[in-house]
């Protein structure tokens, strides 16, 4: 038995039967998540939000354990069958929960925008590569387990669609933990919801012949609404916070500049490979290099670059280290954006500064109800919003009535209906604070 | 006005009249504290404990603001006079509260044991050096303010002994914040106490003609006891946690080895200077180098060293990165320690490993009531416990009765009396987990 | 100074300058509120909800104290003027906050429906009557204070409209306390909101030349939405809970029957007068009788009536004492109601029971945004919804922008807009559980 | 399945397998506990403490359910055997937990001192009497269950000593719930402890061949100490609060006077029988009368008596209704008590008041570690402290080490050792506030 204390869930316990979690926690790939903050630069706006992806991953495994232990005989036979099915996948479920974020790099948004590789591809590669400790631990438990975990996280695992949905759907345990944890750690009061009641109301049901994670209709509607609202507020106030967004975009520009001026650093092999576009998840050498990256490495690179000869690289590094974050002016239309932009570009030129780096368009968009993942590669999203959305278009939250019939949440709830077609959208033009 | 959200205090607000806090927060030296974790390697044992010295410093400034705003007319004239005196030092009080930890480096214990320089000396130097932004902001508010802040933190400020005590005494606002914060973030339930009631009961009184921060006798005895107990539990379970202590000692050994084998790293000027023993708080170049150090720099150095040719340096780096922390065997006497040590030394030699690095004596000692600071240079303490203790021997918590007479807590409280002569003492022999 | 501990606000302190609160707390009329539960029969559904109107009243006085103490210099001169004005009314404000519910009787809804007298009329009478201790304490502080307090609570106090709004408007301190307290005590998680932030965002502004309590536009919109949602959920799940509503209607029927069969009880002078329709707030003898009523008196009457010769009175008393509450069938239209009713009436007749008592129509309606008071005399409301609504039609929550311009919440917020036209409406037909 | 919300435990759920709890909750004897406050007159000092014995009983049943569900395979075979044994008694355990306080009357201390009958005798009688619903429900589940429940509560149930200890020992679930609940509802911050960790550390062990409820030595020592401290503070600040104690003694005197002047009230059959000393738990008529008593009946009697011709009865009733509670002067010795008493007796006589009623000795004593029950008939205790203590002398808290060996807490813990020989003792002389 292994127990952890946690500011969110208080006591996290894994009994001997769940030894796989403990063994996976002790791998170097999971330990690496200790050095990557869940909210990247979120602590720039909310100083308490310093929690790591490690403690979040532990939280998701804990919620999965609770969910599996709390499944009880339900009213209808179909639910019972689905829930019994799920029990057969306990080891797989716990491992997938713990490892769902294993491929994240530091400052995920910025990194993805530079590498053009989504962190999910690294997750798959880490699980499947024979070289990783995670892979070895999984295989030592069950042959083929690493591929099954990868398949669950990739959402292609057919034997248990319910398990897939438990880890990635509108109401998955990943989101439940991160919303709660981010709300608690930021201190942003409106982001909390009653997780006890949510777990109490959650159940497995069936929609169009496919298992879905949903909620009991009677017990679950209000908590579903509250959960959607919390998500909405977290996007509005935390994930899309003006200063945090600006800092993230600045890191993006910083890495872009470092690549441009080939500001490689001796010994920073992972970072150098990244700047040269030589990171390939499917190549084991390059995967090893990727796994050297963490928040500390990037911050240290900024220390080094803050003394670099390139004035832009130097300036961006210093601004990030000393929190001289660009100011964001909210704009409501393309026209307004162009106006602000052109005005600020003139100012840049007058000051002898490169507008490409010093006047930045930032667009962040999500939906409270049908949001894509927390870490959307914004640029793609903005260019092809339809595509990004369609990827999750089928995703809904279902409320199951006493006969097991599903009711889609936004049809059952006028509140969610109102929120549904509302995007949380922030469009800003960013430029140095001192120009204002 | 500037407001922050915080998981501990919820809402932290500084009105325009307290602009100094906002200006100081924006200096690079204060921003640097974002990159240094309050508990160093505490998150090794308590994964949620990832909070920075920055958010703690903000918390102490907030408590100071509350304390000053809540001072009310008391029953006796003496108290009122003392409290009015204090009000004259509002700017100084807030600045000192925010800056009290400004000199901390990463992994403070380990660093201090290698440099033989206590972090307090860097605090003084940063405040007094004309080169720091902190110094410049302070002087721009009031000439001589930087020296006065330094003097308050150094405990030599004579014009208001009450202010000195508010920031360093048995019941100072620094401890109130860190105990609460560490308890909340670790999730260690027994470390919390009712801070509202504590603040409600706190008052300024006079002992032997000198102002002291204490508590109202009637209201304050139970909360004082509870606070002492919390401190006791935090030492027992968090600060002296077996795994955290072992990791700290391993960092100490790592740095010692890096110095020994002269494992300097290109570009890591601060770290290299430190390993060469060339850090001097009073030299401005060297101060600048010191300020480049943060947790990320040390972790990045470990990444580098994990590929170093020296096998010990390489091994320690890998162990720390992948959390292969030494096991600690508790011993109760010097004799028992020698037995365990000699047994393990034989094992080291049999395995061809250097016992000086792989078999380590660790002694940690504190007192719930008269503890020295959180970051005791343990080796000194163990060698000269009397001296360390005497430095704070005069420090007591006083309860003031209705006539303003002080009663020393351990005399008033049989509980604290019982705790008083108890040290929280941990003595262990550490060696690699896999030997066990 | 007097301090109270409280499960909602933790520490409630009134300094010597606010002695009026302490003196009023010690009057018999305020002490009587200890014996009246805030939620009447709410603990039938939520067993923890046993808090009294006394502790709620204390909470409102505490919030008023905090609000007055936290008023700070704002950005615009108009706000500052309005806030300075308010400071002149500190004694009046605190007294009105503490006394706003002084006229409540036990099981307020049921009582009002029997007496046809709203509790507000008793509040006014108690304040103005020379015989009450509350009146005497008020007058001893300031001549005419009792009339001014009455006027504030009656919403007719012209010298400070802001004060009136602070105690009765869509966002008044009364509601802030009861929503929070009811949410905490019921354990209904979705009813809580971040009261610290709400208070932080509250400010006085001006709408059409009249002072209004509102929120800062930037800081306040999300918390305003959250507050509205909490109110919505509290109505849905707590105030209109099926079992609680059924129990309330049963008490109404019980009192109606007791009046009908003239089931007066020796010594229960207050209750007997009430059953005879002889309670008149403006008559001092009858006011004294009214003040003898509390929850305990009504429960004791039920003990007595549970042995009464009238079979209906006896049965209702036993059902209430032993929690054999009527079942409520939700109906959605008048037609459906008639169907259920006529079916159940037949059953009543077949069992030889009086349908007038055993088959009951229950309609409960409120709005999350423009709700009338917590204790709506439902029957009236249902008959003349327009009138009830119009009484508060002018009531809106305003968000004030940086120039002090008001923005009505449902215009600024699509969420509140969606909720606005939604009533929380429950229509049920009630009948004995054992018939189902 | 039946779920309750609760301010202490959040969600309380009983699955279908635990239907007995739901059926027992619906009996009139359990419902009666809704009308009896857990802390009697505790809300006189702590206005939030209005919770009933009903919600506490539910909480104890919930803790029992959790304890039984969380029992896991332990390290040693003995523990496993003991824990398996316990599982055979699930129905009995839950029923006993819910019903352990079923015999309490209103204002228990005062009532017991007047009737000279401890509430435990009523508990036994209610369980065993064929007339009660509780008895009938129990027997309908299992023949002889009512006697077994009674035996568990009476501590004579031999087949499972572990079960007996779970409900009455130094660390039983009854105390765990009431300490937590009382701490939360009073708002007295120092009374809370980490119940999650406590439950996590609890286990069944064996001492001298008899099963005992204890704690794991490694995990449990600090939480055991914290629990003992909380108990200590709750006695000090809540249970023995000066004003609450004075109010309790005043009710005692009130009932004594009512008996003396034969102030029987028409219809108050239960109360009249009590005043005439005609309540006998073993007589079924008299048991029925006893079950009519609740807080409301006693408060209503005070309303009546507040207009009684006997001046003392009238005065005490009015004082209690309007909270004119006697002042208590703390005395430290018999001699000091006599001095104060004789001085105040003179004052009584001078004012023409009866010293027997107006000058009262109050002694309250308990121990943090070996305290007798919450409701000690103080007078007896003070007379024969040895006897009262010996009844629980055998009671200790045990910490079990890895080999299953028990270590008595006060031997393992210097803190508890310090508290052990400390009684929480309050001795006061009480008299009318206005004499001071």
Domains of chain C and CATH, by start = 2-241+399-423 (1.10.3210.10)
Residue B417 with chain D: CB contacts under 8 Å:
418
Give the 3-state secondary structure of residue B405.
coil
Confidence of residue C182 (pLDDT cuts 50, 70, 90): very high
Question: Tell me, what's the pLDDT at C421?
Answer: 63
Cβ-contact B382, B363 below 8 angstroms: yes
Interval C426-436: pLDDT, tens: 899 999 999 98
Question: Tell me, what's the pLDDT at B390?
Answer: 33
Confidence of residue A371 (pLDDT cuts 50, 70, 90): very low
Interval B343-398: pLDDT, tens: 999 999 999 999 999 999 998 776 656 543 333 333 334 444 433 333 343 468 89
Residue with tokens 């009587």: C32
ipTM value: 0.92
CB contact under 8 A, D222 and B190: yes
Interval A94-141: pLDDT, tens: 999 999 999 999 998 889 988 999 999 999 999 999 999 999 999 999
Question: Tell me, what's the pLDDT at A358?
Answer: 97
Mean pLDDT, residues C65-75 taken together? 82
Residue C11 with chain B: CB contacts under 8 Å:
196-197, 200
Cβ-contact B3, B18 below 8 angstroms: no
Residue B200 near chain C (CB below 8 Å): yes
Residue C316 near chain A (CB below 8 Å): no
Short-list A322, A324, A302, A321, CA closest to A313: A302
Q: Residue A149, CB half-sphere, CA atoms under 13 Å: how many?
A: 35
CB contact under 8 A, C196 and B3: no
Q: Which segment of A23-32, A256-265, D209-218 scores lowest on mean pLDDT?
A: D209-218
CB contact under 8 A, C10 and B72: no
Least Cα separation, residue B75 to chain D (angstroms): 20
Question: Tell me, what's the pLDDT at B380?
Answer: 39
Mean pLDDT, residues A307-314 taken together? 97
Residues 2-41 of D with CB under 8 A from C: 4-8, 10-11, 26-28, 31-32, 34-35, 37
Q: Whole-number mean pLDDT of chain A?
A: 89
Q: Does residue C12 carry a pLDDT above 50?
A: yes
Q: Please indicate whether residue C13 or residue C192 has the higher confidence score (pLDDT).
A: C13
Local confidence pLDDT in tens for the 436 residues of chain D: 899 999 999 999 999 999 999 999 999 999 999 999 999 999 999 999 999 999 999 999 999 999 999 887 666 777 788 888 888 999 999 999 999 999 999 998 889 988 999 999 999 999 999 999 999 999 999 999 999 999 999 999 999 989 999 999 888 999 999 999 999 999 987 778 999 999 999 988 888 888 888 999 999 999 999 998 898 899 889 999 999 999 999 999 999 999 999 999 999 999 999 999 999 999 999 999 999 999 999 999 999 999 999 999 999 999 999 999 999 999 988 899 999 999 999 999 999 999 999 999 998 776 666 543 333 333 334 444 433 333 343 468 899 998 889 998 888 888 888 777 667 788 999 999 999 8
Least Cα separation, residue C46 to chain A (angstroms): 15
Q: Which segment of A74-78, B203-207, C29-33, C338-342 scores lowest on mean pLDDT?
A: A74-78
- Looking at the DSSP bridge assignments, the partners of residue D429 are D329, D361
Short-list A214, A125, A119, A200, CA closest to A161: A214
Chain D: touching chains (3 or more CB pairs < 8 Å): A, B, C
CB contact under 8 A, D292 and C299: no
Cβ-contact C266, D307 below 8 angstroms: no
Quote the CA–CA distance of D329 and C178 in Å, as a whole number. Answer: 37
Confidence of residue B189 (pLDDT cuts 50, 70, 90): confident
Interval B62-120: pLDDT, tens: 999 999 998 876 667 778 888 888 889 999 999 999 999 999 999 988 899 889 999 99
Which residue in D has a C-alpha nearest to residue B420's C-alpha?
D415
Question: Tell me, what's the pLDDT at C381?
Answer: 40
CB contact under 8 A, A194 and D15: no
Residue B222 CB contacts under 8 Å (≥ 6 apart), including other chains: D190, D233, D236, D237
Interval B407-427: pLDDT, tens: 988 888 888 887 776 677 889
Short-list D260, D253, D288, CA closest to D275: D260
Q: Does residue A392 carry a pLDDT above 70?
A: no
Residue C229 near chain A (CB below 8 Å): yes
Which long-range contacts does C247-251 make (Cβ < 8 Å, 24+ apart)? C247/C41, C247/C44, C247/C320, C247/C325, C248/C40, C248/C41, C248/C107, C248/C109, C248/C110, C249/C110, C249/C326, C249/C360, C249/C362, C249/C430, C250/C316, C250/C319, C250/C320, C250/C325, C250/C326, C251/C41, C251/C107, C251/C110, C251/C298, C251/C320
Residue A418 with chain C: CB contacts under 8 Å:
414-415, 417-418
Short-list A205, A204, A209, A288, CA closest to A28: A288
Quote the CA–CA distance of D376 and D113 in Å, as a whole number. Answer: 10
CB contact under 8 A, B265 and A267: yes
Cβ-contact D404, D79 below 8 angstroms: yes
Which residue of A190, A193, A418 is in closest CB contact with C414? A418
Report in angstroms the alpha-carbon separations of A356 from A263, A274, A322, A361: 18, 22, 22, 10
Confidence of residue A368 (pLDDT cuts 50, 70, 90): low
Question: Tell me, what's the pLDDT at B371?
Answer: 44
Question: Tell me, what's the pLDDT at B369?
Answer: 61
Give the 3-state secondary structure of residue B292.
coil
pTM of the model: 0.93
Confidence of residue C383 (pLDDT cuts 50, 70, 90): very low
Interval A153-209: pLDDT, tens: 999 999 998 999 999 988 899 999 999 999 999 998 777 899 999 999 998 888 888
Which residue of B190, B223, B419 is in closest CB contact with D226? B190
Cβ-contact B398, B407 below 8 angstroms: yes
Q: Whole-number mean pLDDT of chain C?
A: 89
Question: Tell me, what's the pLDDT at C377?
Answer: 33
Q: Sign of dihedral through CA atoms D238, D244, D246, D248?
A: negative
Which residue in B has a C-alpha nearest to residue A9's C-alpha?
B187
Quote the CA–CA distance of A152 and A164 in Å, as a whole number. Answer: 5
Chain C: touching chains (3 or more CB pairs < 8 Å): A, B, D
């Amino acid at each position: 038995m292994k127990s952890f204390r946690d500011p969110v869930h208080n006591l996290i316990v894994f009994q001997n039967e769940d030894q796989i979690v403990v063994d996976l926690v002790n791998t170097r790939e999971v330990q690496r998540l200790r050095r990557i903050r869940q909210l990247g630069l979120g602590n720039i706006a909310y100083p308490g939000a310093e929690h790591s992806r490690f403690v979040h991953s532990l939280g998701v495994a804990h919620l999965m354990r609770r969910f599996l232990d709390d499944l009880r005989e339900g009213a209808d036979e179909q639910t019972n069958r689905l829930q019994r099915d799920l029990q057969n996948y306990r080891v797989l479920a716990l491992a997938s929960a713990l490892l769902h974020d294993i491929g994240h790099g530091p400052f995920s948004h910025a990194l993805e925008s530079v590498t053009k590789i989504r962190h999910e591809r690294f997750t798959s590669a880490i699980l499947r590569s024979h070289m990783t400790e995670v892979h070895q631990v999984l295989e030592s438990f069950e042959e083929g387990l690493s591929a099954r975990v990868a398949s669950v996280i990739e959402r292609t695992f057919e034997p248990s669609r319910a398990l897939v949905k438990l880890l990635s759907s509108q109401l998955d345990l990943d989101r439940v933990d991160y919303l709660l944890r981010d709300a608690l750690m930021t201190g942003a009061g409106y982001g909390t919801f009653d997780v006890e009641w949510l777990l109490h109301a959650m159940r497995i049901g069936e929609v169009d012949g496919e298992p879905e994670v949903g909620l009991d209709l009677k017990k679950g509607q209000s908590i579903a609404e509250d959960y959607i609202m919390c998500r909405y507020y977290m996007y509005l106030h935390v994930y899309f916070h003006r200063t945090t967004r600006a800092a993230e975009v600045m890191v993006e520009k910083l890495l872009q500049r470092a690549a441009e001026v080939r500001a490689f650093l001796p010994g920073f092999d992972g970072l150098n490979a990244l700047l040269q576009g030589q990171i390939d998840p499917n190549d084991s050498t390059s995967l090893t290099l990727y796994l050297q990256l963490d928040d500390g490495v990037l911050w240290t690179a900024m220390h080094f670059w803050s003394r670099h000869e390139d004035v832009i690289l130097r300036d961006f590094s210093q601004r990030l280290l000393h929190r001289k974050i660009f100011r964001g002016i909210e704009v409501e239309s393309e026209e307004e954006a162009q106006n602000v932009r052109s005005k600020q570009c003139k100012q840049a030129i007058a000051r002898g500064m490169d507008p490409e780096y010093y006047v930045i368009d930032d667009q962040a968009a999500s939906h409270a109800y049908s949001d894509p993942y927390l870490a959307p590669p914004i640029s793609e999203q903005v260019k092809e919003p339809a595509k990004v959305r369609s990827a999750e278009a089928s995703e809904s939250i279902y409320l199951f009535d006493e006969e097991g019939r599903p009711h889609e949440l936004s049809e059952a709830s006028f509140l969610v209906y109102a929120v549904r077609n509302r995007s949380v959208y922030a469009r800003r033009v960013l430029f140095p604070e001192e120009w204002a």
